[in-house]
Amino acid sequence: MSDEHHNIPVITIDGPGGSGKGTVAMRLAERLGWHFLDSGALYRLVAVAAIDRGISPKEEEALGVLASSLDVNFGISGDGMVILLDGNYITGRLRSEEVSVFSSKIATFSLVRSALVKRQRAFRKAPGLVADGRDMGTVIFPDAVLKVFLTANAEARAKRRYKQLKEKGESVNLSRLFREIKKRDERDSSRAIAPLKPADDAHVIDSTDLSIDEVLQIIHKLLDESDVSL
Ligand code: C5P
């Protein structure tokens, strides 16, 4: 990576699913006029492509090849981000529970993770980037100017997810979602490579009893207090 690239500021927002990191990161990027990376979407894209090709979540080598050869395009339409895989719109499928579980299984493989490193760093473009995920502050952008680790207890996260999926018309069961979230937390936190954990220099924010706006206020305060020039 060139020095010039390193001068482009990055803010990382890591944390478990349902902590609100996606919404917070997107809103922050909008307010700052910066680019936005939803790194979980890349793992989800590999999952969708694997499901469509009949590749099982255990075939590390085939999944690694798939991750490095994905034909992906991100775009903005009137009502948000659209994602094309092999030229087909797949945005709607990305958030299903099937894809959530599949993506967290394949995210344990080093061949998959290393295939996605370059793709993620390519999002670092002027004037700046807000990146959300699990290892943005620890592995992908260790030189970020501000690192946030957003968390919330599993019950609050399951309820948020339940509401999201319900609004999308998916039939969901709250106690099953709660169990899935706990299992996914366990897999994400205990994996050998890039486990879900705050970077040493991350600011940990517990959003259990906070609204998205309250979290954003805290982040803006952290930015004001730091010597980041925006
Ligand atoms: O953030 P999201 O829930 O969309 O991520 C889907 C899955 O992708 C997570 O459960 C996690 O296992 C994996 N992931 C990851 N590293 C990231 C982002 C997501 O391992 N930076």
Percent of all residues in the chain with a pLDDT value above 70, rounded to a whole number: 94
For residue 187, the ligand 1 atom closest to its alpha carbon is 12
Domain spans in the chain, listed from the N-terminal domain onward: 3-215
Beta pairing, strands 80-85 & 72-77: antiparallel
Distance from the CA of 9 to the center of ligand 1, in angstroms? 22
* Residue of the CA atom closest to atom 6 of ligand 1: 40
* Residue of the CA atom closest to atom 1 of ligand 1: 40
The per-residue pLDDT of the chain, averaged, comes to 90
Which CATH fold would you assign to the domain 3-215?
Rossmann fold (3.40.50)
Q: Is the pLDDT of residue 102 over 80?
A: yes
Q: Is the pLDDT of residue 74 over 90?
A: no
Average pLDDT, integer, range 116-129: 94
**Residue with tokens 């807000």, as numbered in its chain:** 130
pLDDT score recorded for residue 21: 93
Q: Is the pLDDT of residue 1 over 70?
A: no
Q: Please choose from 23, 24, 43 the residue to mutate so as to test ligand 1's pocket, defined by most ligand atoms within 8 A of CB.
A: 43
Q: Are 129 and 230 in contact (CB under 8 A)?
A: no
Distance from the CA of 192 to the center of ligand 1, in angstroms? 15
Distance from the CA of 8 to the center of ligand 1, in angstroms? 24
* Residue of the CA atom closest to atom 9 of ligand 1: 104
pLDDT score recorded for residue 77: 66
Q: Is the pLDDT of residue 23 over 60?
A: yes
Distance from the CA of 38 to the center of ligand 1, in angstroms? 9
Distance from the CA of 184 to the center of ligand 1, in angstroms? 9
Whole-prediction pTM value? 0.90
Q: Helices 21-32 and 212-225: crossing angle, nearest 10°?
A: 50
Q: Is residue 21 within 6 Å of ligand 1 at its C-beta?
A: no
In this structure, what DSSP letter does residue 37 have? E
Higher pLDDT, 171 or 27: 27
Average pLDDT, integer, range 114-126: 94
Average pLDDT, integer, range 17-40: 92
pLDDT score recorded for residue 95: 84
CA atoms within 13 A on the CB side of 193: 13
Among 116, 132, 128, 51, which residue's Cα sits nearest to residue 90?
A: 51
Q: Are 137 and 145 in contact (CB under 8 A)?
A: no
Residue 58, phi then psi, degrees to nearest 5: -105, -15
Average pLDDT, integer, range 105-127: 94
Average pLDDT, integer, range 9-28: 94
Q: Which residues, other chains included, contact 128 with Cβ-Cβ below 8 Å and sequence gap of 6+?
A: 8, 9, 10, 11, 32, 34, 35, 230
Helix locations, the chain, DSSP H? 3-6, 21-32, 39-53, 60-69, 97-106, 110-121, 154-167, 174-190, 212-225
Q: pLDDT tens-digit profile of 149-182?
A: 999 999 999 999 899 888 888 888 999 999 989 9
Higher pLDDT, 6 or 174: 174
Token code pair at residue 211:
């609204």
Q: Is the pLDDT of residue 76 over 80?
A: no
Token code pair at residue 62:
């085939």
Q: Is residue 104 within 6 Å of ligand 1 at its C-beta?
A: yes
Among 144, 161, 130, which residue's Cα sits nearest to residue 24?
A: 130
